[in-house]
Structure 1
């Protein structure tokens, strides 16, 4: 019999329908609810998927993807930082544009 981590490793390369079937076939070990596939966006585990129970009291949690190499984590973290900075700059520019339109309309 395969261990759960072996099955998860194999499933991480499967199509979305296969992943859905896996989630249905492997419910929460504590309460029996269907677990949910989510993605971590923390600095330590960016873009790493995990499954957990929607019931907050269960605390049933398991990594779905294997750990990423340190270089990949560093690259993704840098790209996320650049993206967040660009979103902030876009927000500031939109506010300035709105103020200019208001000034133009009132003059």
Structure 2
């Protein structure tokens, strides 16, 4: 999976966004790192922040989302996560069924060979 920074670097953005992302931290002069917020109030909204936690330098890259987007995106993310969990459970179940099938073939083969 690509990192947030590689996704942001490949996207077309206005020059002001590029300047904001490439600007150093106002407190410690480290280069700010791009991130994406997945909180309920700002789902999918990009921001830049200093890599040092003690700095607290932070700036939004994207404008605020409309209210409808804020309502819909978290629900879509929950549904996606639920579906991914279901897929994972089904893959584990399928694996167990294949193992059980293999064991049953071994048992059948053992009894079949014994009766010859």
TM-score, scaled relative to structure 2:
0.72
Name the structure 1 match of 2:42: 45
Q: 1:95 aligns with which of 89, 92, 105?
A: 92
Corresponding pairs, count:
93
Distance, in Å, in 1 between the alignment partners of 2:12 and 2:33 is 16
Determine which structure has greater relative contact order: mean sequence separation of CA pairs < 8 Å that are 6+ residues apart, divided by chain length: 1
Q: 1:34 aligns with which of 31, 35, 38?
A: 31
Query: What runs of 5+ residues in structure 2 fail to find an aligned partner?
Result: 1-10, 105-116
Give the CA deviation at 1:61: 1.0
Distance, in Å, in 1 between the alignment partners of 2:44 and 2:79 is 16
For the aligned residue pairs, the C-alpha RMSD in angstroms reads: 1.9
TM-score, scaled relative to structure 1:
0.78
Please tell me whether Structure 1 or Structure 2 has the larger radius of gyration of its CA atoms.
2
Query: What runs of 5+ residues in structure 1 fail to find an aligned partner?
Result: 1-13
Name the structure 2 match of 1:66: 63
